[in-house]
A and B are shown apart, each in its own frame.
Chain A
Amino acid sequence: MMTLIKERVPTPERPVEERLKGFMEVNLGYTFELAVKEAERCLQCSPAPCTQGCPVHIDVPGFIRKLRENRDNPEKAVKEALEVIWACNTLPAITGRVCPQEDQCEAVCVMGKVGEPINIGKLERFVADYAREKGIDEKLLQEITPKIEKKKEKVAVIGAGPAGLTCAAELAKEGYQVTIFEALHKPGGVLVYGIPEFRLPKETIEKELEKLKKLGVEIKTDYVVGRTITFDELLEEYDAVFIGTGAGTPKLLNIPGINLNGIYSANEFLTRVNLMKAYAFPEYETPIKVGKKVIVIGAGNTAMDAARTARRLGAEVTIAYRRGEEDVTARVEEVAHAKEEGVKFEFFLNPVEFIGDENGRVKAVKFEKMRPLEERDARGKRKLVPTGETAVLEADTVIIAIGKTTSKLLRMTLPQIEADEHGVIKVNENMMTNIPGVFAGGDAIRGEATVILAMGDGRKAAKGIKQYLEEKRKSS
C-alpha cells in the first residue's frame, strides 16, 4: 500500500561551528536525487494554489513535473524545468533563496494541510543552481535570444534592485532597448548590499546579472538619477521610465544618543560588510568596528541578517525587540538559524536612550519594559503599553534595524512624481505614476516589503510599459 510522504526531504546545512567561521552559504541545497525525491511528494494540483500564492505566478507543478518526468536525464529535467520558471521569473537562484515561501507559495500548498508543504523554494533554487553549474542556462539563453525581435523603443530603469532587474529582463525579452541606472558601483540593490553572503552568495547574483546583460540590458553604475542625470533628461531620451529605487533610507530612533560612535543603521553595517567586504579588512579597505557586545534593535529579516553577521565578526549578539516572540516578522528559517548560531533574544524592550562613555562611544542601551495587551492594532499585532520599568543592557555596538523609508534623494530630486507623505509613490493598476510613461514598483511604491513582491511589481510594470508603448506606437 502507498503511504503519504508527509515530511519534506531535508536540505543539508553547514554545521554551526563551521558557518560561524566565515560567510559561506549556510544551506547547501538539494542534489538531483534529493530534488527528485522531494518533487515526488507534489500532488500536481490543478488549479494549483501554490502558483496563485507566488507573486509572479510561476507554474510550480509544471516545473516540478519536468523534474519527475526526466528522472533519468538530469540535464533535460533541469532545462525543461528552468524553461517553465523563466517564463515568469528570470532570477530563480535569488528568489529560491530569499523569498519568504512560508508566507507565499508554500503557505497554500495542499500538502501543508496534513504535513509539510512541498519545499518549492529549495526546488526552484536547485533548478537554477544546477542549470548554472552545467551551463544549461547558457544554452537556454542562446536558444531564446535569437528569437527576440528588436524594437526601437528605449526604456530607462532607475535602480538595479529586484524590481528594476525584473522589469528590465521582462522588457528585454520583449525586444525593447533597456538601460538600468544604478547609483552604487554594483547592481543588485538590497541583494548586494543588504542580504549577506551566507544567505545569498554574491557570485550567484553576479551570474544572474550576466544573464541580463546577455539579454541586451545595459547597466550604468555610478549613475545617481536626480544628480548625474535629471529625470527630465531621462524623459526626453527614453520612451518610458520605470522607477525601482526601493526604500533605502534607514529609519533611525529619535532618542538621545543616536549619534554616538558604535551605533550603526543596519544599512550601513550591512553595506560595509556585504558590498564593501569589511569582514576581510584590511585586505578589503573598508573598515568596520564591532565590539564584544552587540545589540540589534528590531526583529525583521534585516535584524537577523545584521545579528548573524555580527556573530560572524566575533561578537556576542542580542536582539532586542519591543514586541514579543510571536510578533517577530523575520522568516522562520532565519530566526532558527540565528538561534542556532547563538544570537540571544530579549522581548518587550523599547529603547529610550543610548548611553555613551567619555569618548563618545556607546556603552549601554536603556530600555523601557513593555507589556502586551490582548487588544490588537490595525496590523493584527498586540498593542503595547509601557510599564514604567527600565532595563539597561551593556553594548559597545548597536545596530538599528527598525525599517527603512523611500529614498530621501528621490523625494528631493523628483518632486513632480505624486507620492504620499512618506514618499511612497502612487501608481495605478498598470503601475503607472501620475506622469504618463513613468511607471514604478517595488519598495518605492510599498515602503519596505519583500524581494519577490518587488519582482512581481517589476514584471507587472513591464506589462504596463509594453501596453503603453504599443498604444503610443498605434496612435502615432
Chain B
Amino acid sequence: MNVCAEVFIVYEILEKREIAANNVLYKIHAPHIARKVQPGQFVVVRAFENGERIPLTPVMWDAEEGWITLVTFIRGRTTLRMNMELQEGDKILNIAGPLGNPAPMKKFGKILAIGMITGIVEVYPIAKAWQEIGNEVITLHIVPEPMIILKEDLEKAVSKHIVESFPLKEGMGMPEIFKELVTRGQAKVRELIEKEKPDLVFMVGPARGQKAIFDVVKEYGIPMEVDLHPIMVDGTGMCGACRVTVGGEVKFACVDGPSFNAYEVNWEELIARSEFYADLEKKALEDYLTKLQQGGAQ
C-alpha cells in the first residue's frame, strides 16, 4: 500500500453523537492514524485555530475504511467548545499520532481492567486486544449512571464486564460525585480481587481515582499498571510538561508511557501537577460560557 499517497488529509467528522451525558463520540476520517494505531496509543488534537492541543485516545478504528473514533468527556472549554461548534461534516484542524507506546501484548493470565468515568474508552481497545491474545479479561466501569458507555461493546469483547454505577442526585457537585466514585470503586475492586484473584490490575481514570484504587490493590500486592494522563503540550517528547517520577526517575509520559507500574509512580506529585492549571481552566471555561451567553442574546 502506498502509505504516503494522501496529498492532503482532512480530518472530517464523519459522525458525531452524544453517547451518554457529557460523553461525545466523534468518528473522524484519519486513514494514516487508523492504519498505525495500536491499543494503548493516543493522539493529540487541535480543533480550533486559537485552540490548545489536547491528548485523546482512539477507541475504535478501521484501517481499511480509514477512520478512528474519539470520545471526549466534556470537562472544560475545549471539550465543550468541540461539542458546541463541531458538527458532522466539519473538519478538525490537526490530529497528530498515534503517540505513546502501545500496551504490551502479553499473556498475563487473569486481568482486571478498570475504567473510571470516560477512562473506560482507553480501557476498551486494550482490554479487547488482551482478551484476543488469550488473557481472561474482566472489565470494571466505575461511573455515574447517566455516563455509562461502551457497555455492549465491552460485554462482547471480554470475559466479563461489570458496571459499578450510581444515580446522580439533585445538587451533587463534582466533589460529591468523585467521593462516590472512589467509595464504590474501592469496595467493588476489593470484592473483585477477593473473588477473582487477578494476576494483573490495569486502570485508566483521573489521577486521584487511580491513586484511590491503587491504595486497595497494593494491600493485596497484585501487579498494577496505570495509563497516566499528565498535562501534555506537544506529545512528542520535546517539552517535558508530561513528566512524572516513576521509580525515582523523571519520565516523559508521552514517549516513555503512557503506561507505568503503579507501585513506582509518585502519586502526590502527579496529582499536584495535573491540577496546576485548575484556576485558569475555570477561567477559560467561564470566558467561553460568557461568549455563548452573549452570542445567544444577540
Binding site for B on A (CB under 8 A): 156, 179, 183-185, 193, 218, 221-224, 227-229, 233-234, 237-238, 248-250, 252, 254, 258-259, 261-262, 264-265, 267-268, 271-272, 276-277, 280-287, 289, 359-361, 407-409, 412
Q: Within the complex, which residue of A179, A184, A222, A285 is in contact with B77, where a contact is CB–CB below 8 Å?
A: A285
In the bound complex, do residue B272 and residue A276 qualify as a contact, i.e. CB atoms below 8 Å apart? no
Task: Answer whether residue B48 sits at the interface, using C-beta atoms and an 8 A cutoff.
Answer: yes
Chain A residue contacts of B284, Cβ below 8 A: 281-282, 285, 287
A459 to B287, CA, bound (A): 47
Interface size class of B (residues with CB under 8 A): 35 or more
A284 to B50, CA, bound (A): 5
Chain A residue contacts of B239, Cβ below 8 A: 250, 265, 267-268, 271
Closest 10 pairs between A and B when the two form their complex, measured CB to CB = A360-B272, A268-B239, A248-B238, A287-B280, A185-B94, A222-B96, A286-B52, A282-B287, A285-B52, A408-B237
A228 to B98, CA, bound (A): 6
Segment from B105-113, B116-124, B241-249 that makes contact with A: B241-249
Q: Within the complex, which residue of A184, A248, A285 is in contact with B50, where a contact is CB–CB below 8 Å?
A: A285
Chain B residue contacts of A262, Cβ below 8 A: 276
In the bound complex, do residue B272 and residue A184 qualify as a contact, i.e. CB atoms below 8 Å apart? no
Chain A residue contacts of B236, Cβ below 8 A: 183-184, 224, 248, 407, 409
A281 to B51, CA, bound (A): 10
Q: Within the complex, which residue of B77, B95, B98, B245 is in contact with A227, where a contact is CB–CB below 8 Å?
A: B98
Nearest CB in chain B: distance from A271 CB, A? 6
**Provided the pairs A249-B237, A281-B284 are in contact, do residues A227 and B50 lie with their beta carbons within 8 angstroms?**
no
* Chain B 25-49 interface residues, beta-carbon cutoff 8 Å to A: 32-33, 36, 41, 46, 48
Task: Answer whether residue B269 sits at the interface, using C-beta atoms and an 8 A cutoff.
Answer: yes
**Using a Cβ cutoff of 8 Å, how many contacts connect chains A and B?**
142
A-B residue pairs in contact (CB < 8 Å), sample of 18: A184-B96, A221-B94, A222-B97, A224-B236, A227-B97, A227-B98, A228-B32, A228-B97, A229-B36, A259-B269, A267-B238, A267-B240, A282-B283, A282-B288, A285-B52, A285-B77, A289-B277, A407-B236
**Binary CB contact string for chain B from 1 to 32 against chain A (1 if under 8 A, 0 otherwise):** 01110010000000000000000000000001
A236 to B276, CA, bound (A): 45
**Provided the pairs A228-B98, A268-B239 are in contact, do residues A283 and B50 lie with their beta carbons within 8 angstroms?**
yes
Main secondary structure of the interface of A (DSSP, over half): loop
Chain B residue contacts of A250, Cβ below 8 A: 238-240
Nearest CB in chain B: distance from A468 CB, A? 20
Task: Answer whether residue B78 sits at the interface, using C-beta atoms and an 8 A cutoff.
Answer: yes
Nearest CB in chain B: distance from A206 CB, A? 13
In the bound complex, do residue A360 and residue B3 qualify as a contact, i.e. CB atoms below 8 Å apart? no
Q: Within the complex, which residue of A184, A228, A282, A289 is in contact with B234, where a contact is CB–CB below 8 Å?
A: A184
Task: Answer whether residue B53 sits at the interface, using C-beta atoms and an 8 A cutoff.
Answer: yes
A283 to B7, CA, bound (A): 32
Chain A residue contacts of B272, Cβ below 8 A: 261, 359-361
Task: Answer whether residue B252 sits at the interface, using C-beta atoms and an 8 A cutoff.
Answer: yes
Chain B residue contacts of A249, Cβ below 8 A: 237-238
In the bound complex, do residue A185 and residue B99 qualify as a contact, i.e. CB atoms below 8 Å apart? no
Most buried by A among B41, B93, B237, B266: B237
Q: Within the complex, which residue of A229, A252, A286, A409 is in contact with B243, where a contact is CB–CB below 8 Å?
A: A252
A284 to B48, CA, bound (A): 10
Nearest CB in chain A: distance from B36 CB, A? 6
**Binary CB contact string for chain B from 262 to 298 against chain A (1 if under 8 A, 0 otherwise):** 0000101100110011001101100110000000000
